[in-house]
Amino acid sequence: MVATSHDVMPDIELYQPADEATALDLASRLGNEGWLLGGGQDTYGWLKDRNKTPAAMIELTQIDAWKGIKEISDGIEIGAVTTLTEIANNPLVQSRYGVLAKAASVVASPQIRNVGTLGGNLNQDARCWYYRRGLDCYRAGGNICYADSPEGLNREHALFGASRCVAVSPSDTAPALVALDATMVVSSSSGERLIPAQDFFVGPDRDILNMTVLNDDEILTAVRIPNTWANAEFYWEKVADRNVWDFALVNIAAVFKVSGGTIEDSRFACGAVECTPRRLEAVESEVRGQQRSEELAVSAGEIATDGARALNYNNFKIPLMQNLVKRAIRG
């Protein structure tokens, strides 16, 4: 048996562009051989384990144009290289878009939030240990899903949207941005695309190898949040095995427009139940125009899990998801 060391990363070319044009040119030139590097929290494990072997890394943290939070005509814009700590502590985000500030504040640990970026949190790859240990599953180009098998360990995996792969979206900020109806600014050397947050993430039925719609030459450079849900009442909760470091078992982001106890409008999104953040449009329809009540909370919770398919070890996620929806509606 040949021992494999996981202590030293392989040789990789490192590029550190200081401006947008250079970074976009590198992304275009290197294509799928270039690995985009923000805070690096999802990068170094892949490289140490040799399960991802890019020829080069493009570090984005020196590009000031992609950092910071600013007001725009219809809301705010957050640079994709802005750290999660900056977002969580920003007064503008806290006062107008509290659900995002709360979501950013519970990602991983304080140390990780200090270096981890919004773009990195949104673009991180699937958190499935079979995939991350280099097994030849569907997502890695093979022909089996080890998690969705009779002996599969799948406690953290999907309830919805399984199509060969049952890994879930691991991002805490993604459901908040879907709930806020945010827009992703995607740039390349040939131009810019504006993509609704809900459409930015893709499931395995559309693309088994990727978690987002980004092409090899594209970079997520900013996120725009409209005024539509500014100052809205919100609910955010993350349930995980540990209060720090861990990924969600289920999380929920909900925003409300309420008048006199009546829910005039709302948006709900759950994470860690599907490969993409799951928008709960049926729940939104159920509660629209209704007075808050326990009966409404119970009915909406049941609707939220319609179509769920539990795996061997994650049936607990169904009542957990229902209870989070109920708690959000109770306020």
On whether both 43 and 87 belong to a single domain, the answer is no
Residue at 131 is within a domain? no
* 95 shares its domain with 24: no
Q: Looking at the structure, tell me whether residues 185 and 309 fall in a common domain.
A: yes
Domain-embedded: residue 151: no
CA distance 123 to 106: 17
Same domain for 75 and 196, yes or no, is yes
130-164 tens-digit pLDDT? 999 889 999 999 999 999 999 999 999 999 999 99
The count of structural domains within the chain is 2
Say if strands 233-239 and 250-259 run parallel, antiparallel, or are unpaired: antiparallel
Name the H helices within 219-316.
281-287, 294-304
In this structure, the answer to whether residues 112 and 240 fall within a common structural domain is: yes
CATH number of the domain bearing residue 51: 3.30.43.10
Task: Please check whether residue 41 lies inside any domain of the structure.
Answer: yes
Indicate if the pLDDT at residue 116 is higher than 70.
yes
Residues of the domain holding 229: 68-123+167-330
* In a domain? residue 245: yes
pTM of the full predicted structure?
0.96
Distance between CA atoms of 184 and 174, rounded to whole angstroms?
11
Same-domain pairing of 202 and 276: yes
* Same-domain status, 192 and 286: yes
- In this prediction, residue 51 has a pLDDT band, given cuts at 50, 70 and 90, of confident
Q: Determine the pLDDT at residue 1.
A: 37
Q: Do residues 32 and 90 both lie within one domain?
A: no
263 and 293, same domain (yes or no): yes
Contact (Cβ atoms closer than 8 angstroms) between residue 276 and residue 201:
yes
21 with 114, same domain? no
For residue 143, being part of any structural domain is answered with no
Cβ neighbours for 169, distance < 8 A, ≥ 6 positions apart:
201, 211, 271, 272, 274, 275, 276, 277
Candidates 162, 168, 215, 163; CA nearest to 192 is 215
pLDDT for residue 7:
58
Kindly give, in sequence order, each residue whose CB lies less than 8 Å from that of residue 117, ignoring residues fewer than 6 positions away. Answer: 38, 39, 60, 61, 80, 81, 82, 83, 84
Burial of 261 (0-12, 13-18, 19+ CB in 10 A): exposed
Whether residue 90 is contained in a domain is answered as yes
Residue 323 has pLDDT above 50, yes or no: yes
Question: Which of 60, 79, 96 is a domain's end point?
Answer: 60
Same domain, 114 and 52: no
Mark whether 315 and 264 lie in a shared domain. yes
Q: In this structure, are residues 70 and 62 in contact, taking their beta carbons and an 8 Å threshold?
A: no
Task: Work out the average pLDDT over 99-115.
Answer: 97
Indicate whether 138 belongs to any domain: no
